Amino acid sequence: MRIKGSRRRAGIAVAATLPLLAAAVAAGAQAQAATPHQGRAALAGSKPAWAKPSADRGATAPSTAVTAKVYLAGRDLAGQTALAEAVSNPASASYGHYLTPQQVQERFGATAQQIAAVKAWLTSAGLKVTGSNQHYLTVQGDAAAAQRAFAVQLHSYAKDGHTYRAPDTEATVPASVASAVLSVDGLSTVPVKAQHDTAPADTLPGPGAAFVNSGPFSSYYGSKTATGTPKAYGAVQPYTIKGYTGKQLRSAYGATPTGLTGKGVTVAIVDAYDSPTIVSDAKTYAARNGDAPYSRNQLKQVDPAGWTHTADDDCGASGWYGEQTLDVEAVHAMAPQAGITYVGAASCYDDDLLAALNTIVDNRLATIVSDSWGEPENASDPSLDAVYNQTFTKGAIEGIGFYFSSGDDGDELANTGTKQSDMPSSLPWVTAVGGTSLAVGKHGNYEFETGWGTEKASLSADGKSWAGFPGPFTSGAGGGTSARTAQPYYQKGIVPKALATANGGVNRVVPDIAADADPTTGFLVGQTQTFPDNSVKYSEYRIGGTSLASPLIAGIQALAQQANGFPLGFANPAIYARYGSSSFHDVTDHPFGPGTTLADVRVDFANGVDASDGLLTSLRTLGKDSSLSANRGYDNVTGVGSPTGSYLRSYQHGHHYR
């Protein structure tokens, strides 16, 4: 899951108005009044934390070219946030009374007078406005003009072996336009990419390099024991599954007996780029694995005018194809009659991903949006928190809910050196989806779940032991406490105090809900890939990560919305209202008691494709998610838990809280 800022792919491999409103403001909802510059207002988060005096390498040359986006706050940001809360809160009389995109724009969008005032200010400073829309103005000029406009000095700073530009203080804007300006992006040049300007459009590459699973496999959890491998935790462990199908997952999470299919609901998926084979791959996969065939126009694609940053050393466009394929096929598997609208971002950078999200909101293309991307909070651009929140609150007012993968590196300590949650899943207006390891039984029955967190030990050379047992942490569901987003009201009284206060304040904790994410208990996907002999063909393989959990939950929410009879919108208040009920499996790392540890055995091709370079056998211990743990009650791996059949029935039975 990472954006300029760029983002990485996530998974391959409130009652009262004031609390949530306060959280949004604390996260940098608008230009702040407090400022050392008399007559100016500061733009919160515009000076990155890494721009420290100790890293300062000198002033930027005045003639240096600067391109930036000045995001517009609209005419009533506080009112927008308050309305978003009211229509999302099941306890509110306004619950479910959504507005159209046109009504949102007319009530909260920037006025012509505001835009003219912002343009006049920027132009007077010597910047040229090169483009504008209802969300932002694009400006170009030199560093001297940018410094005049925002009352900062631009300097070069050392970071991670590179040198980047950033302002030496928070950017400010004149008081006369402070209410109209939300944020500025582009004063800092550090790349913030989501992983997995008008540059000439790039050409999308063909299918990426192939990945193939090696057997042996279990067809359901525990169906095939890894006979001949050493014991672990007192027993010979089972082989990993081949990959769960939609039939197995619908059954395990209780969807099958409800008869719900997602009919009448549209789910949008946002990733970077767009696989050239997605339509044929999705149709082939459905036919081969027992999913309903796609009806005409059930899968739609909405793409930008062109693509940028497609090179492997930048965003790596073909690497996103597997992400997209997983998202589309998982949503369809769980909600076989739901419409799917894929909205491709022009790149993996923040501004392009935001543009894709805004395309959905501006046109209300869907009411459920699955996003399997993000980045560690410390790597994200805090000045964009307010921009994302603005998009999400507008969506909430229209009845749109956004679901984000919580990440695949646990507490991020091993990955970044600092314990932290991921973004945008840490923002208050998204549903953060954590991950589990799921055991589905022979008849599609739910056997158990642990929190997804893996320790890996390789088979010794003599085959008699697991070397370094149980081995180091390799991957696990992201989670933890935000360092900059205050606790939203829906978590009060549910999230343990020790978690909410882990960073000093009382803050947002991730995730909110969870579903299967462990690659060893993952989902079978079908995708066209390029093999070592240069052949390009469709093949199937198992995959996991919270990039699986997010579209699974989005699919389940499509079923719930069908039962509900009207859009669920921002779903967290309704999800937390069901906390502690039979609506959720209370997932723990030791479902059979603290004395029982679970594991499975995985065999991989050493070269990722075939056995020509040998096989690698390893033991994967479940429920070991870095410093995070799945415990009774709310926890920072699985949130309130994973959904049960009762969760869907609670909507079927009219529990609308209206």
For residue 578, the 8-state DSSP code is: T
Residue 290 lies in a domain: yes
First CA to last CA distance, the chain: 36
Give yes or no: residues 562 and 447 share one domain.
Answer: yes
Q: Is residue 524 part of a domain?
A: yes
- Asked if the structure places residue 30 within a domain, the reply is no
Tell me how far apart the alpha carbons of residues 118 and 123 are, in angstroms, rounded to a whole number.
Answer: 9
For residues 477-506, average pLDDT: 97
Q: Are residues 179 and 253 in the same domain?
A: no
- Claim to verify: residue 138 and residue 267 sit in the same structural domain: no
The span from the CA of 484 to the CA of 380, in Å, is 11
pLDDT band at 10 (very low <50, low <70, confident <90, very high): low
**156 pLDDT exceeds 90?**
yes
Give the whole-angstrom CA distance, residue 411 versus residue 422.
9
Q: Nearest 5 degrees, angle CA 353-CA 359-CA 363?
A: 160
177 with 250, same domain? no
92-133 per-position pLDDT tens digit: 999 999 999 999 999 999 999 999 999 999 999 999 999 999
| 555 inside domain | yes
Q: Do 174 and 271 belong to one domain?
A: no
Same domain assignment for residues 440 and 351: yes
> Counting Cβ atoms within 10 Å, is residue 293 exposed (0-12), middle (13-18) or buried (19+)?
exposed
48 part of a folded domain:
yes
SS (H, E, C) 522-547: CEEEEEEEECCCCCEEEEEEEECCHH
Task: Verify that 367 and 500 share a domain, yes or no.
Answer: yes
Of 136, 152, 185, which one is at a domain's C-terminal end? 185
pLDDT tens digits, one per residue of 252-311: 999 999 999 999 999 999 999 999 999 999 999 999 999 999 999 999 999 999 999 998
State the pLDDT confidence band at 4, using cuts at 50, 70 and 90: very low
Which of 380, 395, 383 has the alpha carbon at shortest distance from 426?
Answer: 380
Q: What is the CATH number of the domain that holds 410?
A: 3.40.50.200
Q: In 3D, which of 470, 414, 441 has the Cα closest to residue 624?
A: 470
Mean predicted confidence (pLDDT) in 514-536: 97
Of 12-16, 216-220, 224-228, 522-526, least confident by mean pLDDT is 12-16
Model confidence at 187: pLDDT above 60 = yes
Q: Which among 162, 185, 208 is the end of a domain? A: 185
Our count of domains for the chain comes to: 2
| pTM (two decimals) | 0.93
Residues 281 and 417 in one domain: yes
Q: Name the residue range of residue 545's domain.
A: 246-652
Same-domain pairing of 273 and 179? no
Q: Report the C-alpha gap between 618 and 300 in whole angstroms.
A: 40
- Say which residues have a Cβ less than 8 Å from residue 95's Cβ, sequence separation at least 6: 86, 87, 88, 89, 656, 657, 658
End position of a domain, from candidates 185, 206, 238: 185
With residue 171 as reference, give the H or E element that holds it. Answer: none
Element (H, E) at 600: strand 599-605
Domain for residue 22, yes or no? Answer: no
Q: Is residue 231 part of a domain?
A: no
For residues 149 and 283, membership in a common domain is answered with: no
Range list of H helices, 239-349: 246-252, 278-289, 319-334
